[in-house]
A = this chain, B = another copy of it.
Amino acid sequence: MTHYIDQLKRLSTALYNKDFLITWEHSDDEIRAVTLVAECLKEMHRAGLSYRTFDTGLAISIFRDNSTRTRFSFASAANALGLGLADLDEVKSQIAHGETVRETANMISFLAEVIGIRDDMYIGEGNRYMREVSAAVQEGFAQGVLHQRPAVINLQCDIDHPTQTLADLLHLKTRFGSLDALRGKKIAMTWAYSPSYGKPLSVPQGIIGLMTRFGMQVSLAYPEGYGLLPDVVDHARAAAGTKGGSFTITHSMEDAFAGADVVYPKSWAPFHVMEQRTALLRKSDRQGLADLERQCLAENARHADWVCDETKMRLTAGGNALYMHCLPADISGVSCAQGEVSADVFERYRIPTYKQAGFKPFVISALIFLTRMQHPVEALASLISRNTRRNA
């Protein structure tokens, strides 16, 4: 595994005592370092080796929306590194007593190394909340309240979902052999029909924000009116321009699939709907929310043909594109009557989607490792040479 060390040594990173909130706030070298560390830790784990890094310390999770895979990925990553998990359940806390975020963030962090946050329900809120927590622990550390500066890790917000898209990137790297091999490959990030509404924008936004940086031809497809956050679209366009890739928007799923090497069909709610929803949620306007849902489901139903099936898959490069999904997918006839993907396409790619998800615990481990180790390359080399087995 020493080749990872050799590659890491060539990269310039400055993640120590920082957060990881948005992939496009980090340099290419930092993104590459995350993939290398994640691959190295995954290889150690597969070989039965422990990459325990901490003797003690807490990993704190704050989940403001339901989660299975991200919750378990974070728990797994924390455990593998030797950290104990402590979940801040806001229902059981005194936060309702009017306690400020600034204060709570410090109160939970005295022995914390990392704070993982998922907050994706409200447009304009999730990412802002993470930055508020970050500023608070930064102040606490600077003032000597905290002995160490816990890293804030974005486990999904209204803007980005970096632990997912970095796992996706590793899946692509594994499929195509290297990050450089992604150059020129076409990925279709497309909307797909779902019988539910209100799914977050973070995955499509994260994908167009990250994959454009690796010279991919990113084709974003959605029915008219299902647009993403304008700022993120601007970023994706700019990134594509400087990295030799391309970024296009189409309103035809077929256009996006045509010649694609990778397809990522997934439902989301339009940005403007999420904004309306945020306003209604704030007012606790249940009638308004019910009306919006009905209206959106009716609108969705007009696009029920946006489904990833074998007919559309035949349009892709060699009829053989890599199908990706962050899971759980809405599978026609399996998890719903009619959904994002046909049962035959999904079944063909079921195991690969599990492997895609399987990168996430190691991505999160890598993010914690790189933000908390002052000398990560030396620390990783030392873990490798230590050669401790995971069990007796």
Is A93 part of the contact surface with B, judged by Cβ < 8 Å?
yes
Contact B76 A110 (CB under 8 A): yes
Is A288 part of the contact surface with B, judged by Cβ < 8 Å?
no
Within 8 A of B (CB), among A100-154: 100, 103-104, 106-108, 110-113, 140, 143-147
Contact A147 B45 (CB under 8 A): yes
How many of A's residues come within 8 Å of B, CB to CB?
Answer: 79
Contact A92 B72 (CB under 8 A): no
Q: A145-B355, A354-B103, A379-B392 are in contact. Are A67 and B80 (CB under 8 A)?
A: no
Contact of A57 among B96, B373, B390 (CB under 8 A): B390
Is A25 part of the contact surface with B, judged by Cβ < 8 Å?
no
Closest to A47 in B: B147
Is A230 part of the contact surface with B, judged by Cβ < 8 Å?
no
Chain A's interface: helix, strand, loop or mixed, by majority? Answer: mixed
Is A328 part of the contact surface with B, judged by Cβ < 8 Å?
yes
Contact A56 B68 (CB under 8 A): no
Interface centre among A55, A57, A146, A383 (most CB of B within 10 A): A55
Is A88 part of the contact surface with B, judged by Cβ < 8 Å?
yes
Is A282 part of the contact surface with B, judged by Cβ < 8 Å?
no
Is A75 part of the contact surface with B, judged by Cβ < 8 Å?
yes
Is A10 part of the contact surface with B, judged by Cβ < 8 Å?
no
Is A50 part of the contact surface with B, judged by Cβ < 8 Å?
yes
Closest to A383 in B: B392
Interface centre among A85, A110, A351, A361 (most CB of B within 10 A): A110
Contact A86 B85 (CB under 8 A): yes
Is A38 part of the contact surface with B, judged by Cβ < 8 Å?
no
Residue pairs across A and B with Cβ atoms less than 8 A apart, 26 shown, are A46-B147, A50-B55, A52-B55, A52-B392, A56-B81, A56-B390, A57-B390, A58-B72, A58-B76, A66-B92, A67-B93, A68-B104, A68-B107, A69-B108, A71-B92, A72-B108, A84-B84, A97-B335, A98-B328, A99-B328, A100-B328, A103-B327, A110-B361, A145-B354, A379-B391, A379-B392
